[in-house]
Structure 1
């Protein structure tokens, strides 16, 4: 699945014909109809599992670094020498080994709404690193354990 942002469609792929090759981030520019390879953060192992997400105005890279550690990076479009910056890391949470989705920022931009499953949502506080459950009225809570606070 690709992620569309700022006139480009981004996706992660492997080089054709190279088994267990490092992953690359590719972008297709809709306006110019051209492909470009986007450098990944040089401090990550690009053989790890990765996903992409888009938060308002930001391309995010989700890296599943260890079984219980998930790092989220964002692309700073106008910074050439270090375009990627860490946004946050989820560590030692029972759900951090599962695929996550980034859904939205809070109104003040201090939290990110994270989806772990179809019924498990939580607000990740960017300042404190804490997570609090988010429930939608009318949607039954997950049968799994609640997110840690």
Structure 2
């Protein structure tokens, strides 16, 4: 069993492995990169957990992706797509679409949403912008982010953590999913499996 622990005061994240024989945790690696949102759950994709992170001082601060390879028990830093970020926007979250890691640029505070997909995992030059969603077209107040693809042209988008829509990229039409509650929500995507996680 492995875990990653973030220290707010030290601005570092450490990976630890639990030893069943000694019933104790052992630190295997420490990374001194600042996780942008330490309370956010990391995104699991391609056998690793990923976080948006930043490194360097205030003047030369750069955004990056910090990932923890669960099998190798190693932290790896990966560059984000080469996009000029402004003070008011930037990369807001990571996710997994069709088994590929994606980075979301914009999608909040009135900025259109661009989805950048890493088509070949670990290859920085394989980042490709696959979707641009117009802020005005979706009539959102706070933010939007993609959840999954249903078919090649249909993407499910969470709007303001309030509504979920199915959007067709070719026809630019959307269909609202029926709400199951009147509260804000957190959307998660899972894949059904016949394999039990308990062995």
Aligned to 2:159: 116
- Corresponding position of 2:148: 104
1:85-96 superposed matches below 5 A: 85-91=128-134, 92-93=136-137, 94-95=139-140
Please name the residue that 1:54 is paired with: 96
Given that 2:118 and 2:124 are in contact with CA atoms closer than 8 Å, whether structure 1 keeps it comes out as no
Deviation at 1:137, TM superposition (A): 6.2
Q: Does 1:10 align with 2:50?
A: yes
Q: Which residue of 2 aligns with 1:43?
A: 83
Structure ranking higher on relative contact order (CA contacts 8 Å, 6+ apart): 1
Assess if the C-alpha contact under 8 Å between 1:53 and 1:61 holds in 2.
yes
Q: What TM-score, normalized to structure 2? A: 0.59
RMSD: 2.9
Runs (4+) off by over 3 Å: 78-81, 137-140
How far is the alpha carbon of 1:120 from its aligned partner? Answer: 1.1
Shift in alpha-carbon separation, 1:22–1:44, aligned structure 2, 3 A: same
Change (3 A) 1:79 1:24: closer
Summarize the Cα distance change of 1:72–1:98 in structure 2 as closer, same or farther, 3 Å threshold: farther
Q: Who wins on radius of gyration, i.e. which is larger?
A: 2
The yes-or-no answer on 1:19 pairing with 2:58 is yes
SS class of match (1:50): strand
Structure 1 Cα separation of the partners of residues 110 and 180 of structure 2: 33
8 Å Cα contact 2:78/2:122 also seen in 1: no
How many residue pairs match? The answer is 138
State TM-score, norm by structure 1.
0.76
